[in-house]
Chain A
Amino acid sequence: MSTTTSQLLSTPLHQQHIDLGGKIVPFAGWSMPVDYGSILNEAKAVREGSGVFDVSHMARFVFRGEDVANKLDYALGGCITDQLVGVARYTMLLQDDAGILDDLLTYRLADDEFMLVVNASNRDRDWDLLTERLNGVECSDLTEDGGGILALQGPESLNVLRQLSGDDNFAPAFLGLGEIETDFGTLFFARTGYTGEHGYELFPSAEQIVPLWMALMSLDVTPVGLGSRDILRLEAALPLYGHEIHESITPFDAGLRFGVRGWKTRDFIGGDALRALPEPDKHLIGFTCEKRIPREGYNVLCDGEIVGTICSGAMSVALGKPIATAYVPKNVDGEFSIDFRGKPHAANCVDLPFVPHRSRD
C-alpha cells in the first residue's frame, strides 16, 4: 500500500468527515479524520456520552472452510477451536520466535466461518501470512467492499443502539455478536471496542454505511477522530501495534497472556518459542506527568540512568494530565523522570490502566 497523498485510500464516509469539518490526515495509507475540531472534547464525549469513530480503514478478512477453526488455531496465538459462534476474541499474530506481528479480533460467524479485523498498517503483511498459513481455506479481503466499521463507544452507546433498533430490551453480552433491525436493514455488530468503555463495533454494508452514519449524527452521537481514539485506548492501556507491541515484544512482555490462551499445550506458530521463554525481565508501566506530553521514543530515566523509552504518550482527558507507557526492567526502583528533548521532568509511576475499564458494565 502506498503512502503518497495521491494514492491514499478513503473510507465511504470521506465526504461526511469533510462536511463535519474533520481534519483529514494520511494514516496507514488512508485519508482519515484526526479530529473534528477538538481532540479533547471528542474524548470527553466518549467517556461521558457516546461517540462514533469511522474505523473503516481497519482490514476485514473473512476465512471460510471445513477445517478453518483448527487452521486458525495454528496460525494465530490464541485458542480458536473453543471460540463459540457469535463471539469475538482478542488475539495476536506471532512470529516463530513469539514476537508480535499484529494484534487482532477474531469473530466467529459460523462453525466454518471467521472474520478477522486487523490493523490497517499491517493489512498487506497479515494477508500474505494468513493466506499462507491457512492453506486450503477460502480467504476474502473485504476491506474495500464499500462497507466499513463504525465504532460506537461510550456509556450511552447502548441507548443509541436501542433507538436505532426500536428495541428497548436489546442488551447484548460483552464480546457478543448480533444483528439489529434498522430502517436501513439488518445491521451486524459486535460488542467490542478500543476505548475501555461500554461500546459496539458496527459493520454496515456499502448500502448501509452512509445512512447509519447520518442516523448516528441525528441521535447526537459525537463524531470522534483518530486523535481521540489514541487518547482513549491509552487511558485504557490497550496496546497499539508499533508502540506497546511489535516484533521484539512477546505476549508475555506485553502482559497479554489472555491473548494466547492454551499456550502451554497448543500447537501453533510461536508456541514452542513461548514455552521456551524465561520470565520476562521487563514490564510495561504507566507514567503521569505535568503539562508536557511524553512522546514515543523519549528516554525514561530512573535516578538519572536511562532505563527505557516511551512507547506512547497522550494528554489524558479523564486524568487532566499527560500519561505515557514504557517498558522498564522489573528490578528498577527509584525516582523516575522523562527526558523531554534534553530537559528531564519528573514522572510518577502509576498502575495500568490509567482509567478503569467499563467495557463489561
Chain B
Amino acid sequence: MRPNDRSYLDSHEWAKIDGNIVTVGISDFAVEQLGELVYLDLPEAGATFIAGEAFGEVESVKAVSDLNCPVVGEVLEVNSGLCDNLEDLQNNPFESGWLMKVKIEGDNLDGMLDLAAYEELVSSQS
C-alpha cells in the first residue's frame, strides 16, 4: 500500500516531513513505469535546490528521467549506497529506497498532492 504519511508530486516524487527535515524519494508507480533500473545519480550533501529543480537522474532500460526536488532546501544526506543497490530502490521505494534528506526553512510542502489526489493521478495514468 502507498503510505499516507507523506506528500507527492505529479512527477512521482514523494516528500516526508519530520520537523525541518524532509526525506525525498520516488513512488512505486514511478519505479514500475521505469522498469528495470540501470543507473541512479544523486547530489552531494551540501547542495541546495529550489522546488521543481532536478536534483539527480534515474535511468532504466527504457528511459532516463530527472528527479525533481519537491522543496527548497539544502541536502543533508543522500542514500549513496542505493546507487550500487538499485534493487533496493526497485523493491522498497518508500522505505530503504529513499533518495535524500533535505533541510528546509519552514513547512513548504504546499502545492504537493496528498495520497488521495496522488492515487487519482496514478489511476488516470495507468
- Which residues of A come within 8 Å of B, CB atoms? 23, 34-35, 38-40, 227, 231, 291-293, 295, 314-315, 322, 341
CB-CB < 8 A to B59: which residues of A? Answer: 292-293
CB distance from A204 to the nearest CB of B (A): 29
Give the complex CA separation of A291 and B60 in angstroms. Answer: 10
Assuming A292-B59, A315-B61, A341-B57, is B36 touching A40 (CB within 8 A)? yes
List 3 tightest A-B contacts by C-beta distance, closest first.
Answer: A315-B61, A39-B61, A291-B39
Chain B: minimal CB distance from A33 (Å) = 13
Chain A residues near B61 (CB-CB < 8 A):
39-40, 227, 231, 293, 314-315
The majority secondary structure among interface residues of chain B is strand
Q: How far is the CA of A258 from the CA of B59 in the complex (A)?
A: 37
Please determine whether B62 and A291 come into contact, CB atoms closer than 8 angstroms: no
Check B64–A341 contact: CB distance below 8 A: yes
B38 within 8 A of A: yes
Assuming the A-B contacts A292-B59, A293-B59, are A315 and B38 also in contact, with contact meaning beta carbons closer than 8 angstroms in the complex?
A: yes
13 A-B pairs besides A34-B62, A227-B35 with CB distance below 8 A are A35-B35, A39-B35, A40-B61, A227-B61, A227-B62, A291-B39, A292-B59, A293-B39, A293-B59, A293-B61, A314-B61, A315-B38, A341-B57
- Among B39, B57, B61, B64, max chain A CB count under 10 A is at B61
Q: Is the CB of B64 within 8 A of A39?
A: no
Bound CA–CA A305/B44 (angstroms): 29
Question: Are B62 and A39 interface neighbours, CB within 8 A?
Answer: yes
Shortest Cβ distance from A231 into B: residue = B61
Specify which chain B residues have a CB less than 8 angstroms from the CB of A227 in the assembled complex.
35, 61-62
CB distance from A112 to the nearest CB of B (A): 44
| Distance A34 CA – B33 CA, assembled complex (angstroms) | 11
A-B contact count (CB 8 A): 33
User: How distant is the Cα of A345 from the Cα of B35 in the complex, in angstroms?
Assistant: 23
| Size bracket, chain B contacts | under 10
Q: Which residue of A lies closest to B36 (CB)?
A: A40
- Chain B residue nearest to A227 (CB atoms) is B62
Name the B residues within 8 Å of A315 (CB-CB): 36, 38, 61
**A277→B62 CA distance, assembly (Å):** 37
Asked if A292 and B39 make an inter-chain contact with CB atoms under 8 angstroms apart, the answer reads: yes
CA distance A260 to B85 in the complex (A): 49
A293 near B36: Cβ-Cβ < 8 Å: no
B57 touches A39 (CB 8 A): no
- Assuming the A-B contacts A292-B59, A293-B59, are A38 and B64 also in contact, with contact meaning beta carbons closer than 8 angstroms in the complex? no
Alpha-carbon distance between A322 and B59 when the two chains are bound, in angstroms: 12
**Cα separation A322 to B64 with both chains bound (whole Å):** 13
* Between-chain CB contacts (< 8 Å), 26 pairs: A23-B35, A34-B62, A35-B35, A38-B36, A39-B35, A39-B61, A39-B62, A40-B36, A40-B61, A227-B35, A227-B62, A231-B61, A291-B38, A291-B39, A292-B38, A292-B39, A292-B59, A292-B64, A293-B38, A293-B59, A293-B64, A314-B61, A315-B36, A315-B61, A341-B57, A341-B64
Chain A residues within 8 Å of B39, by CB: 291-293
Chain B residues near A322: list those with CB within 8 A.
38
- Residues of A with C-beta under 8 A to B36: 38-40, 315
B115: min CB distance to chain A, Å: 24
Contact bitstring B45-65, A, C-beta under 8 A = 1, else 0: 000000000000101011010
How near does chain A come to B45, taking the closest CB pair, in angstroms?
19
Cβ contacts under 8 Å, B62 to chain A:
34, 39, 227
Complex Cα distance A224/B90, Å?
22
Instruction: Tell me the minimal C-beta distance from A295 to chain B in angstroms.
Output: 6
Give the CA-CA distance A34 to B61 in the complex, in Å. 12
- CB contacts (< 8 Å) of A291 on chain B: these are 38-39
The complex places the Cα of A341 from the Cα of B57 at a distance, in Å, of: 10
Nearest neighbor of A292 in chain B, beta-carbon distance: B39
